[in-house]
Homo-oligomer: A and B are copies of this chain.
């Protein structure tokens, strides 16, 4: 394949105030430079949009440097090597690569992993067998140490991470209760993903009463993707020794000033509970065996996954923004080529 002459990229045009808009991103065309020795050129197949990206464009201190104005948006993708001056990557190889919001990327291979298309659809490398699946895996198993018979509550339960958390919890013998924003979503996680119960927070007035009904033995583990009033309600029903994994707080990401809520730390004393924030990247050394185990579960049908595919590179901003309206069920990806 001949090297294309131009690349398309989304750069950060301005920082959002509150909910991001398409105007915060600018589509630019840039020339693709010739490869140097040791480099390869990758063409995006699927690019990932994820809630964490909101933090990267806020300009506030976080666990990673923010994207600066004019820089290409960051993010993971699944790509095909189309040209190579690197002996370890040949044209035709499919790779998982943190390439950002662009159609083409040049890499020396650092942090790039090869994907075997015979194992599973390559798109899964940015989902159940990639970052979001690993987030579910370590955030539940390592942070919360679930034991058979315990009750696990998951918020954002129909999302890329939450839907997998609930299924791993089931594999571990737990009672699993999901909270999601739509009857289609709760139906999917109960009927297809095997959650024991779920409720649609958008049509539920009293989260506490609903949790009491669905968790008659209290809550041993809470995997939190959303924060806010849903999390407030869970904190009121923790069993002694409860573990809470703080994975995301999507309800707060677009707040223009720090939202307030009830002061909850006292509940942790009563329950002798642990709340732990985590980042999947801290578990990088253990990704290999984790992916092997996850792959086994997927092949055995013990873990179902859903992909929410948006077509066309030009739709990256729209696909990203839609995450905050809860548009997606399962892992949202943009199909680029």
Contacts and interface: CB of A to CB of B under 8 A. Distances in A.
Interface of A: 61-63, 224, 227-228, 231, 240, 246-249, 252, 258-263, 265-279, 282
Contacts of A267: 277
A138 to B, nearest CB: 11
A249 B265 contact: yes
Given A263-B258, A263-B260, A263-B261, A248 B269 contact: yes
A266 B228 CA distance: 10
A278 B270 contact: no
Contacts of A258: 262-263
A interface secondary structure, majority:
mixed
A84 B135 CA distance: 62
Nearest to A261: B263
Contacts of A62: 270
A276 B63 CA distance: 22
How many copies of the polypeptide does the oligomer hold? Answer: 2
A269 B265 contact: no
B61 A265 contact: no
Given A277-B268, A277-B269, A259 B249 contact: no
B227 A265 contact: yes
A46 to B, nearest CB: 25
Contacts of A246: 265-266, 268-269
Given A260-B261, A272-B282, A249 B277 contact: no
Counting chain B CB atoms within 10 Å of each CB, which of A252, A266, A274 scores highest? A266
Contact of A252 (B63, B240, B266, B272): B266
A263 B252 contact: yes
Nearest to A228: B263
A269 B228 contact: no
A268 B275 contact: yes
A279 B274 contact: no
Contact of A279 (B269, B278, B279): B269
B259 A259 contact: no
Nearest to A224: B265
Interface centre among A63, A265, A274, A275 (most CB of B within 10 A): A265
A266 B227 contact: yes
A249 B261 contact: no
Contacts of A262: 258-260
